[in-house]
């Protein structure tokens, strides 16, 4: 996947450039699968099967002269999980593709699952873990989220809408709270949630690599039952029905510079 910073270009301009790639791709042993274009941000991302980075650059150079600012190797299945497609959606000359690759990334992690196992035993604890997973997955379905990966009791998810990601996080915490009150075992299922947002090719050499790492650290910073977000998430939710409280600048593990964090007030 490559990134083009082409502020000032229209969706029609980018569609025409993509068509020119398709016309000559075979000469460079490439296959231009699809692209995303965010006109307000002026960024385009092309998904291309190619033998090398240089082949991608030469194809673009010959086709239209728009040389990518950055190229990273990606796995098609991960692109599909994060962005929802790996082929062109339906489009016309009058309505070319205007599909942003900007995504909200949400991490949710269950707290103290080992302690729950020690308290209830393996079978009962596993039933609670399944309840937690069901609550998370129902919330993702209701709010348009995509489950990208799951490691242990943690979920990595992706949203086209930042506001939808925040509403999903609130739903998860509310539903976990209701579930805890409905059971008589006295054990609370708790989760910490972190939300960030960014583009698929930024810093680093992995798909959404820098923003996934950053959001993971936000999640680690959160206390049980909290939803913590980056400042950009609050900015993109301006005017929406959600309340944030500034936590000020915090230094996250693995980062040398402080970053402004926001607490979502959901209770």
pTM surpassing 0.85?
Answer: yes
- List, as one string, the DSSP characters of 124-162: HHHHHHHHHHHHHHHHHHHTT-EEEEEETTEEEEEES-H
Tell me where in the chain the CATH 3.30.70.1230 domain(s) lie.
Answer: 103-264
Architecture of domain 103-264: 2-Layer Sandwich (3.30)
The predicted structure's pLDDT at residue 93: 64
Query: Cα–Cα distance between 100 and 151 in angstroms, integer?
Result: 27
Q: What are phi and psi of 53, to 5 degrees?
A: -65, -40
Answer yes or no: are the C-beta atoms of 260 and 246 closer than 8 Å: yes
The predicted structure's pLDDT at residue 92: 63
Give CA separation, 77 vs 1, 174, 181, in Å: 13, 32, 39
DSSP code of residue 186: -
Tell me where in the chain the CATH 3.30.70.3090 domain(s) lie.
Answer: 2-83
**What class is the 2-83 domain?**
alpha beta
Q: Tell me the average confidence (pLDDT) per consecutive run of 10 residues in the chain, 267 residues long.
A: 95 95 98 96 96 97 96 94 92 79 97 83 88 97 96 93 98 96 89 97 83 95 97 96 96 93 96
């Amino acid at each position: 996947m490559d990134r083009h910073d082409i502020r000032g270009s229209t969706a029609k301009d980018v569609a025409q450039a993509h068509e020119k790639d398709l016309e000559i791709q075979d000469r460079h042993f490439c296959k231009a699968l699809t692209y995303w274009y965010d006109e307000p941000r002026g960024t385009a991302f092309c998904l291309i099967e190619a033998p090398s980075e240089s082949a991608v650059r030469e194809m673009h150079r010959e086709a239209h002269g728009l040389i990518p600012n950055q190229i990273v190797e990606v796995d098609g299945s991960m692109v599909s999980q994060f962005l929802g497609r790996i082929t062109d959606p339906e489009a016309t000359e009058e309505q070319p593709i205007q599909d942003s690759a900007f995504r909200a990334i949400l991490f949710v992690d269950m707290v103290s699952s080992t302690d729950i196992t020690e308290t209830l035993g393996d079978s009962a604890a596993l039933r609670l873990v399944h309840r937690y997973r069901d609550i998370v997955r129902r919330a993702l379905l209701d709010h348009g989220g995509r489950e990208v990966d799951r490691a242990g009791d943690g979920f990595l998810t992706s949203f086209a809408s930042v506001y939808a990601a925040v509403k999903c996080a609130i739903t998860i915490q509310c539903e976990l709270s209701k579930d805890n009150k409905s059971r008589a075992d006295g054990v609370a299922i708790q989760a910490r949630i972190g939300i960030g947002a960014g583009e698929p090719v930024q810093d680093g050499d992995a798909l959404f690599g820098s923003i996934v790492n950053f959001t993971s650290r936000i999640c680690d910073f959160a206390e049980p039952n909290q939803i913590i977000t980056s400042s950009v998430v609050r900015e993109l939710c301006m005017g929406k029905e959600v309340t944030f409280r500034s936590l000020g600048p915090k230094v996250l593990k693995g980062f040398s510079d402080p970053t402004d964090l926001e607490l979502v007030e959901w209770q």
